Amino acid sequence: MERVVVVGAGLAGLRTVVGLREQGYAGELTLVGAESRGPYDRPPLSKAILSGKSDDSALPFDPDELRVDFRPGVRATRLRGDVVETAGPGEVSGPDLDFDGLVLATGAEPVVLPGEGARYLRTHDDAHALRAALRPGAAVVIVGAGWIGAEVATVARTVGCRVTVVEQAPTPVAHALPPQVGRHLAPWYAEAGADLLLDHRVAAVGPNTVDFADGTTLRADVVIVGVGVRPATGWLADSGLELDRGVVVGADLAAGRRGVYAVGDVAARWSPRYGARVRGEHWDDALRAPAVAVANLLGGAQTYDPVPYVWSEQFGRMVQYAGLPAAGLPASTPAAGPPGAEPDVPGTQLVWRGDPAADDRWSVFWLDQDARVAAVLAVDQPRDFVAGRRIAESGAAVDPALLADPAVSVKSSVAGSAG
């Protein structure tokens, strides 16, 4: 292999070029990035940068040391055979880049609601512009009570804005958490002094307005939308690659054409663990997948199939979540531990450690029919989380009664464990 092109200079793109050199690739290496700056981390955008604790989240990157031809401000516009077509700022077309190895790492873009002028948060520049707009006393409406919406609400309240979060689902983080779990995140908004309007469907947004489907309108000084992301695959439309909510790749991260791989938010990978196609959309995936893609591009035969992991810092709490509870779990069994009176997530047994209604710190585990940990959510319980994630990765079964007992360590709940 002599010429590798990496498209997208976010975390996944950076980890790919670093991985190539670390794994001994000595040929030509080009990194194309649509943004004008070098690779940077996105999780701080809605945390340290928005709150003013930090101005920058640049990742260490020395193109000379890595012998990378880095092209910031250059967008890949088309993939035609073994050529990536490009365009620089203000250009209709730039140089063609031919390759014998290609790694797609173009990440994702915010889902855009109808209407003009609302704000979105994906880039360094978005974060700085939003920070300037979040002034004490400003009326801020955030559309979406997902991970990002909650983080923006947290910072906006800290700054002293008047905050309303609107969400079409009946509970926060509804895309990832079932209502039985998500509803325990709702009181955090009121505690922080933010209004949370659930079951509110937004029809359109403007710079200072949110129009609801029922015909009513909410006015604000700042409107921010955080309703999810879409993989950045537009430029691949006629590439011949299979696209289905991302670039479809196998567990080896190969995109079905020799020498072409996809990593990070743009990849829709087959997971043997879940028997389903999954999209990472999380930092951990962009960090870890590239080493596997690189190994395989260089002739290896590795599989990438972790338990998905995300964290979120909201309303003074560290929320950590790992797993995929919805994937093919069969018939339901009763819940264990408080608040045990609740109905189950279909096909899953929920085991609570601590009571979310009474305790500041708690965790909840989803068990499948064989009492294996399908997912774990922990609120300020990093030990429970680390152990739970490890058990989920291992596929070991647990004893639900032991797991529900906060006096017993999560690790000791593994069936047959000596403690």
Ligand X SMILES: Cc1cc2nc3c(=O)[nH]c(=O)nc-3n(C[C@H](O)[C@H](O)[C@H](O)COP(=O)(O)OP(=O)(O)OC[C@H]3O[C@@H](n4cnc5c(N)ncnc54)[C@H](O)[C@@H]3O)c2cc1C
CB 362, min distance to ligand X, A: 20
Q: In which residue are the tokens 């196609």 written?
A: 277
Q: Which residues contact 22 (CB under 8 A, 6 or more apart)?
A: none
Q: Closest Cα to residue 223, out of 211, 213, 208? A: 208
> Per CB under 6 A, which region of 102-110, 164-172, 176-184, 404-412 contacts ligand X?
102-110
CB 287, min distance to ligand X, A: 8
Please pick, from the candidates 148, 173, 218, 402, the single residue that binds ligand X as defined by CB under 6 A.
Answer: 148
CB 374 within 8 A of CB 348: yes
Asked if residue 107 binds ligand X (CB under 6 A), the reply is yes
Helix (H, G, I), strand (E, B) or coil at 45: helix
Please pick, from the candidates 311, 326, 332, 409, the single residue that binds ligand X as defined by CB under 6 A.
Answer: 311
Contacts (CB under 6 A) with ligand X, residues 54-73 = none
Contacts (CB under 6 A) with ligand X, residues 375-404 = none
Please pick, from the candidates 164, 181, 225, 265, the single residue that binds ligand X as defined by CB under 6 A.
Answer: 265
> How far is Cα 186 from Cα 81, in angstroms, rounded to an integer?
49
Q: In which residue are the tokens 């981390």 written?
A: 41
Q: In which residue are the tokens 């996944």 written?
A: 12
Asked if residue 337 binds ligand X (CB under 6 A), the reply is no
Asked if residue 312 binds ligand X (CB under 6 A), the reply is yes
CB 147, min distance to ligand X, A: 7
Nearest 5°: phi and psi at 97? -115, 115
Binding-site size for ligand X (CB under 6 A) equals 36
- Tell me the per-residue interface mask from 217 to 236 with ligand X, x by CB under 6 A, - otherwise: ---------------x--x-
Nearest 5°: phi and psi at 65? -60, -40
Asked if residue 35 binds ligand X (CB under 6 A), the reply is yes
Please pick, from the candidates 6, 18, 42, 130, the single residue that binds ligand X as defined by CB under 6 A.
Answer: 42
Residues in a beta bridge with 314 = 317
CB 34, min distance to ligand X, A: 3
> How far is Cα 414 from Cα 400, in angstroms, rounded to an integer?
9
Please pick, from the candidates 279, 282, 353, 389, the single residue that binds ligand X as defined by CB under 6 A.
Answer: 282
Q: Which residues contact 300 (CB under 8 A, 6 or more apart)?
A: none
Asked if residue 134 binds ligand X (CB under 6 A), the reply is no
Q: What's the token pair of residue 229? A: 């992301």
